[in-house]
Structure 1
C-alpha cells in the first residue's frame, strides 16, 4: 500500500498483480480490461460492497504493449477514518466540557462565590448593617481578604460606637451646661425675692411685686421644662389627617399675639388661597409656634413685624415666616438646627428649631433658611402632598 491506497498493474488489459483482497480481484480485472489507452481520469467503481475512487496511468510507450498502473482509494476506509475522527472529536469535546465544568465549579467555589458574598457584605456595610454574615472559611487569598474586611468592619463599628458615646456625652454635657445656665437666673431671682419676702417691714405693694417677680421666674422655668418635654416627645408617631393648614397657622399666630411681651409686634398672616393638605395638626402648630416665638424675640421692640404666608401646589404645602430682625449671626448659621444652639435669647434653651426640623422630617418635608441678613430672616417650611396610598392609609 502506498499512501494508504491500493495499486494494480495491468498488461494488455489483463490484471497482473494488485494489493486488493483476493475476493475483489476478479471485479478489478474487469475494470483494468475496460481501461482505454487515454483513460487516465478519476473514476468511481464498486468492488463488491466496497466503493473505490480510481485513476490509471499508462507506463509503456504507445508502440509498446499496454502496461497500466491503477491506483485505488477506498471510500469505506475514508468513511471509517472520518467516523473515527468524529468519535475522537466528540470524545475530546465531551472531555473538554467536563473539564471546563469542573474548572468553572472550582473557580466559582473558590473565587466567584466568596467574592460575591464579600461584595454583598461591603454593600451592607454601606447601608450601615454591621451584622451582615460573612463566610470566613478557607485559607486562600479571598478568605484572607474577607478576614481583613471583617476586622476592618469590626474596627469601624467600634470606632463608630466610641464616637457615638463621645457625642452622646458631649450632648449631655452641653445640655446640662445650657439648662443649668438658663435655669440659674430664674432660680436666683426666686431665691432673692423669697429672701425679700422674709422681711417683715414690707408693704402690701412690695409683697405683690415680689410675688409677681417670683411668678414670672417660675413661668420661665416652666417654659424651659416644657421645651425639654416637647423635645423628648418629638419622636411620637405622626397622625396625619386632611385639613386646613391656614387654620392651624392662624391659631398659632393668635396665640403669640395674645402674649403681653409681644403685644407691640405686628404679626400678619397672608392667605393667598385655601391652604389644605395632609399633616399632623398638633405637630404643625408646635412647629409654627416655635418659629413665631423665635421671630418675635428677634425683631426690634416696638417696630417688629412678622409676616406669615401659605400656599399650595401640586408638590405640596409651602409656609414662609419672614421677620425684620437683625438676621442670623454667622457663628451659629452652620449649626442652627442643632440642639441647644441659641444666640442672645432671654428665653428657651435652643431646642425650638431642632423640634421644627424633626417635625418637618416626620412629614417627609424640610425647613430651611431662605434668606437672612440685616433686613430680616425668612424661614421656609415645606411638606409634600400625600400620595393616594398614604391618604388611604391615614383616612
Structure 2
C-alpha cells in the first residue's frame, strides 16, 4: 500500500490511523521542514524507517538527517529510481529478518516456559484424577457425590487437553524430530481428510456448507520433513480457516515449485483480518476467539515451518478472506530418505510505504 501527503500537516493526520514500513519525506515542505516532520512522525511511528529526499543537497541538512535515528537514507533529486528500488528492497529485507528473529526468540522463550508449566500441570492433574477415581469407587452408591466427581473429572480432562496443546507447542521448539522425504501433496490431502469430520459431517448436521478445493494441488517436488508435524500445521491452518467462516465457505489449495522451494497457498473466503490482527496472528496465545481459543494453533504452525527451514506469511483483507503462503525447501538428492507410502500416509510481502 502506498499513500501520499502534500504537506507535513496531512502526513501527521493520516499517520494517526495507519502504520508504515517506510516513509519518504521531502526536506522542503510547504508548511514545515522535513526534518522537523520526521521528529514528530518518529514518535507516532516508532517502527517506521524514513528516507529524506531533497533537490538542494547541503551538508548541514545531510548531517541533521543523519542524526535522526530512524532516517536510513538521504536521496537527492532527480531520484535514481533503480537505486531507490534497491534501497527499499534492502530496508524491507532487513525488516523481515528482524521480525523473524524477534518471533523466533519469542517462541523459544515461551516454548521453554510452556514445557515446564505443562510438566508441572500434568503432575497436579494426575493427582486429582487418581483421587477422583478412587473416591468414585469408594462412594459409588452415593449418586449425588458421584455426579459431582464426574464434573471434577471432566474439568480435569479439559485441563489435560490444554496441557497437551501446551506440550505440543513446546515440543515444536525444543524436541528432536526425525525427517524423511515425502510428497507434500499427499500430506496436504491427508490433513484435509483428518479435518473432514468438522468441515463435512458436523457442518452438514448444522446446515452449513464448506467446500475444499484441491484442483490447484499440482505435481511438486518432494520435501524432507516430519510428516506428523507438517500434517499438524495444515490441520491448524484448515481449522483456522473454518473458524473464520462460521456460516460456511470455501478453502482453496494451490501448490507450485520455484527455484529450490515448494510453495503452498491456502486461501479462505472468511471474514478476513485487520492489519493489527494479521501482524499478530503467529504470536503465541494471541486469539480473537475468546474464551474458547487458546491462541496456540498458528504459533505452532509458525514453529513447525521454522524447524523445517521454511517460511509462512499471511495476506488478508477485511471482508475478502485470508491467504496463508507456505514455503519449504525442496529435498536434495543426496539428502533423500524416501518414506514408504503404506506406512505413512514466493509469497508476497505486504509492505506499507508513505510518501510526503
Q: TM-score range by the shorter chain?
A: 0.3 to 0.5
TM-score of the superposition, structure 2-length normalised? 0.47
Q: Relative contact order: is structure 1 or structure 2 higher (C-alpha 8 Å, sep ≥ 6)?
A: 2
TM-score of the superposition, structure 1-length normalised? 0.43
